[in-house]
Structures are given as C-alpha cells and as structure tokens.
Structure 1
Amino acid sequence: MMFHYEKLDHVQLAAPRGEEEKARTFYQEVLGFDEVEKPVSLQKNGGVWFQAGAVQLHIGVDEPFTPAKKAHPAIQVKNIEKMKRHLDELEINYQVDSKLPGANRFYIHDPFGNRLEFLEWIQ
C-alpha cells in the first residue's frame, strides 16, 4: 500500500440535542477530561469535544438519538484500580469484565447510554 495508518484521531459518540451540559458534567467532573473548543465552523452542529492525554472524544448531536450499547471506545488506563475507587466514591456503577485474557477492564455508560470500556493490560 502507498499509505499507512498512524493513530486513531478521535472517537465520536452521540447524544440528544441540548444535552451538552450533561456531557460536560460526566466527561469532565466524573472522568477528568478537559473540554476542547470546537472549530467555529462546527459549533452550530451542537455537541462538545473532550480530551485527556492522547484520548479525544467528540460528543455529537444525533437526531433521532440512539445510544451505542454494543459499539464502544476502549480507553487504556494506567492505575485502573484507582479509577475504580474514584468511580466508587462518586457512586458511578461499572461492570467488571474478565473475559479478555491479560486485561483488567470494565464498562460504564455515559448519561446517554453509550458504552465506554476502560482497560489496563496486566504485565
């Protein structure tokens, strides 16, 4: 091939129109992402963008809205047990999944029902 893939730039998840503040509360206050300003040319579309380290998530408006219940981003985490304790303190429910050999992982759902996976590879 004359091209190659370098990295995943971002993942977009959907939310209902007008729910940007709910997204900000969850992604910033619960998960610790920072908001990234959308380009002016895209602001009229609604939604909000977030980044933590090299991970960028875009929350876009989808009408009619349907959450991603199976498809999901998988975000690699360092110190995942500390993340679980943080979620426990905030009383955020998560589902531990031990089906992937060599991975400590769990799933949560954002306020819109989108599935998110967090994992740490056991060395």
Structure 2
Amino acid sequence: MIVGVDHVQMAAPPGAEDELRAYYVDVLGMTEIPKPPVLAARGGCWFRAGAAQLHLGVEATFRAARKAHPGLRVTDIEAYAARLEARGVQVTWDGDLPGHLRFYVSDPVGNRLEFLEPVRLSGPGG
C-alpha cells in the first residue's frame, strides 16, 4: 500500500550543484540533506522543507522540466512570493486551480516549481 510520497527526483546538469545549493537553501529556504556516500559520488544534491524532499540528480543529457514539476504547499503564500521576488526570482501567478492560490517559478537550471496554498473559505463559524 502506498502511504505517501518520499521525495521528488528532478534532473540537473553536471556541475550545477553550487548554483542549486544557493537557490534551494538561500532563496527558497530549504535545508540541504546529505546524500549517502555511494550516491554522493554521482553528484547532485538533496533538499528538505518539512516533509517535502527534492532530490536533484546529475543527468549528462540534462533537459529542464518545464511542464512536469513538484507542487509544494506553503503557508502565507503572498509573503513567500514576495520573499522570492525580493531575491530576484520571477514569480508567475496562476489562478486556474479552484480553492487555491498558486504560483510557478523556475530554478536556476530551468526546472519548474509550483507553490500553492489552499484558500480558507469563510462561512458559518469561521
């Protein structure tokens, strides 16, 4: 039985690790987690925020994922978008998902990332 998503694997070009670390840690606010030594020898880097893990693995014939993407839940999405924009990230809002605020960004190697937050609907009792 599937009980959850352990991680999302994305690709990156050889030699992009430092640029990815700067983006995922300093800009997005994630924490780098160490790869097991046998996997670290292959290059790439792993990151975590809460229960979400993103693994970026080196692919010699890298091609950015411009459509496929992880969808990452955030709190206070407007403040988070402002944080990213203040760090030079282009934020593209998309209002097409009912019940959610969401936007997209691209990482330094062109991979697409989605950030979303459910909209709290007010009604009787709150």
Say yes or no: TM over 0.5.
yes
* 1:92 partnered with 2:89: yes
Partner of 1:51 in structure 2?
A: 48
What is the aligned residue count? 120
Q: TM-score, normalised by structure 2?
A: 0.93
Per mean C-alpha deviation after superposition, the further-off stretch among 85-94 and 36-45 is: 85-94
Partner of 1:30 in structure 2?
A: 27
Q: TM-score, normalised by structure 1?
A: 0.95
User: What is the RMSD of the two structures over their aligned residues, measured on CA atoms?
Assistant: 0.7
The percentage of aligned residue pairs carrying the same residue is 47
- The CA deviation string for residues 74-96 of structure 1, in whole angstroms up to 9 with x for no partner, is 00111111101101211210100
Structure 1 residue ranges without an equivalent (≥5): none
Q: Please give the secondary structure, in 1, of the residue aligned with 2:5.
A: coil
- The CA deviation string for residues 63-119 of structure 1, in whole angstroms up to 9 with x for no partner, is 101000000000011111110110121121010000111110000000010000000
